[in-house]
Chains A and B, each alone.
Chain A
Amino acid sequence: MGKKILLEHINVPGIETYEVFRKMGGYASVEKALKTKTPLEVVEEVKKSGLRGRGGAGFPTGLKWSFIDKKSGNPRQLVCNADESEPGTFKDRYLMEKLPHLLVEGMIVSSFALEAHLSYIYIRGEYMWVFRILEKAIKEAYAAGWLGKNIQGSGYDLDLHVTCGAGAYICGEETALIESLEGKRGNPRIKPPFPAVVGLYGNPTVVNNVETIMDIPWIVNNGGEEFAKFGIGKSTGTKLISASGNIKKPGVYEIELSIPVEEFVMSDEYCGGMQTDRPLKACVPGGSSVPILPANLLFKTAKGETRLMTYESMSDGGFATGSMIGSGGFIVYDDRACIVRNTWNFARFYHHESCGQCSPCREGTGWMEKVLWRIEHGFGNIEDIDLLWDIQRKIEGNTICPLGDAAAWPVAAAIRHFRDEFEFHIRYPEKVKDRKHFEKEPWEQVKHLVKKEDAVLV
């Protein structure tokens, strides 16, 4: 069994309740931090841990905390990002349902480190029942003296509340989240200024992912150096991976940031191998925004090294032959899946979720969706592939927020690795009329139709 930081007590009956959580050592980090450490010491401990943000970008948390503006004298704020809407990602929900008090505990210690006295958890509106779970946990924490004035006699005050979104992926982007938390449309802000200087209500604000916040109590209890003993190099600690798609055991797994990808997919401890023992075709390892990897680049890097579940190894080869660990949304495709259809599905998602502020994103995502629709449904032209390539390239880097890039990358990667499949759709439209085309006739059986010509060319 791999070592656990977050899910160590997950199977203890009643761990979601205050009493059991407390009995298992819950809230100890609050006592330790508030009574024996200064806020700066907590930040230092987090820096030593090497913890990187678990929301997707992987930015070092301690460093981010040290950027928060203290000069202005404005009140500092911590906001927990529980918007979790990146396709393939369902780990934060699992954490909050099972360990709501660990999030409250993490929010208290993290707020203390930032010297914040008013913090919020922003949760996606669809998780309404989880919203209630958190409300209850917060109420219990107030009642037990972990929140409010003069927490446990330490002299530190903190108010914590949970608030919700209402169905907008873009509100996971930190500045859109802040706008939404102010009761407005979720339009991302232009940066700079960064939230660390001008955030919620114009005050210095840190936005952190649920899992990031939940790692903090362990770091405070055991020390940053202990945390850094997990994992390899700059990938320290553990990470929750939410695995879905054509595998035997979809679900949420805590892995040490060091195990081979092959072990994660094939071992019984994690995904348990392929759903119906069909061949693995591709994988999107870090949520819909990261590049898709074909099977031959998943377990091994282009250099032929074992690919590991670490930030570095997953991105080895850059976008040409690598991907990203991202949010940990690990989607596995077997040979019945159609990459064109999947890419269209993602493009539709990004078009639907674009806030519409910048034209490359607003128009480009819609255009890509249309072109992909026609290729998938057998109405494509051979020029469409280059057209798609062109559109995605013109979105990337030309928008206010990274949603534009997130929409462009999956399209680019699909063309890069599966160009044949696009061509097949265009040249054999009658073969893709049925939505389940590759279920009836897997790609392996038909690929010679487009590959043959390539062979002649070579």
Chain B
Amino acid sequence: MGLAEVTKEEIKFSDKLLARIAVLKAHFPKGKHKSALLTVLHEVQDEHNNWLSVPVMDKVAEVLGILPIEVYEVATFYTMYNQQPVGKYMFEFCRTSCCCLRGAEDLIEYTCNKLGVEEGQVTADGLFSVKTTECLGACGYAPMLQLGDYYHEFLTPEKMDKLIDVCRVGNVEFYSKV
């Protein structure tokens, strides 16, 4: 399916998502519901294969009653919003100093070699992608990666093998619950 051809009208947010957006909007004073945008985009992204296409962003603008450009501005500024499709399981390794002192670079190399991808790429089956990020606030538990809403810490090649295996069978904690 050519994603680019999907129009805003064809995008449907689930009732659950719409209800959640209503709750988030209500956290802000009248006329200030744009404040909910960052949190809403996370929830929307979670429901759309972990990335934000233009029609999806347009739909967000409609639901929040703001201009599409206001959504694009935000989506392009913050690194957690993906503007391109990503692997179903995106490993986001911390590449900052403290993690490097504890072997992050070795582990990133190991994972890339094992999956046959380079940093930033998605495996051919669309299952995995490897990304690097800046400090995730787990410096003492290095090396580490983020997968979905969760951190995997004190990693070793063996633990990495195991994590890849459980992902392959779809048996991994991914989204935290409300």
| SS class, residues of chain A in contact with chain B | mixed
- Report B-chain residues with C-beta under 8 Å of the C-beta of A124: 137
| Least Cβ–Cβ distance between B114 and chain A, in angstroms | 19
Contact between A244 and B137 (Cβ–Cβ < 8 Å)? no
- Report A-chain residues with C-beta under 8 Å of the C-beta of B98: 87-88, 244-245, 331
| Least Cβ–Cβ distance between B78 and chain A, in angstroms | 4
Contact between A251 and B78 (Cβ–Cβ < 8 Å)? no
A352 to B98, CA, bound (A): 17
| Least Cβ–Cβ distance between B102 and chain A, in angstroms | 8
Is B54 an interface residue when CB atoms closer than 8 A count as contact? no
Contact between A331 and B139 (Cβ–Cβ < 8 Å)? yes
Contact between A129 and B149 (Cβ–Cβ < 8 Å)? yes
Interface centre among B42, B138, B139, B177 (most CB of A within 10 A): B139
CB interface residues, B 85-104, toward A, < 8 Å: 95-98, 100-102
A84 to B97, CA, bound (A): 16
| Least Cβ–Cβ distance between A243 and chain B, in angstroms | 6
CB interface residues, A 41-98, toward B, < 8 Å: 84-90, 92-93
Contact between B176 and A88 (Cβ–Cβ < 8 Å)? no
Chain A 113-154 interface mask (CB, 8 Å, partner B; 1/0): 000001000001111110110010000000000000000000
B interface, size bucket? 35 or more
Contact between B77 and A183 (Cβ–Cβ < 8 Å)? no
| Least Cβ–Cβ distance between B108 and chain A, in angstroms | 12
Is B57 an interface residue when CB atoms closer than 8 A count as contact? no
A243 to B42, CA, bound (A): 30
- Report B-chain residues with C-beta under 8 Å of the C-beta of A132: 176-178
A349 to B132, CA, bound (A): 12
Contact between A87 and B139 (Cβ–Cβ < 8 Å)? yes
A86 to B96, CA, bound (A): 10
Contact between B97 and A87 (Cβ–Cβ < 8 Å)? yes
Is A308 an interface residue when CB atoms closer than 8 A count as contact? no
Contact between A166 and B139 (Cβ–Cβ < 8 Å)? no
A329 to B80, CA, bound (A): 23
| Least Cβ–Cβ distance between A265 and chain B, in angstroms | 14
Is B70 an interface residue when CB atoms closer than 8 A count as contact? yes
- Which of A25-33, A157-165, A379-387, A388-396 lies on the face that meets chain B? A157-165
Do A165 and B38 contact each other (CB < 8 Å), given the known contacts A84-B137, A242-B139?
A: yes
- Report A-chain residues with C-beta under 8 Å of the C-beta of B21: none
Chain B 128-156 interface mask (CB, 8 Å, partner A; 1/0): 00000111111111100010011000000
A interface, size bucket? 35 or more
A352 to B135, CA, bound (A): 11
| Least Cβ–Cβ distance between B91 and chain A, in angstroms | 14
Contact between B79 and A127 (Cβ–Cβ < 8 Å)? no
Contact between B97 and A90 (Cβ–Cβ < 8 Å)? no
- Report B-chain residues with C-beta under 8 Å of the C-beta of A428: none
Contact between B32 and A182 (Cβ–Cβ < 8 Å)? yes
- Report B-chain residues with C-beta under 8 Å of the C-beta of A131: 176
Contact between B39 and A163 (Cβ–Cβ < 8 Å)? yes
Looking at the complex, which one of B27, B38, B100 makes contact with A161 (CB distance below 8 Å)?
Answer: B27
- Report B-chain residues with C-beta under 8 Å of the C-beta of A127: 137
Contact between B135 and A349 (Cβ–Cβ < 8 Å)? yes
Interface centre among B36, B66, B73, B77 (most CB of A within 10 A): B77
Seed contacts A243-B140, A288-B97, A331-B98; 15 additional CB < 8 Å A-B pairs: A88-B139, A92-B137, A124-B137, A126-B136, A166-B80, A167-B80, A167-B81, A182-B34, A183-B36, A201-B29, A244-B139, A250-B142, A251-B140, A345-B97, A435-B105
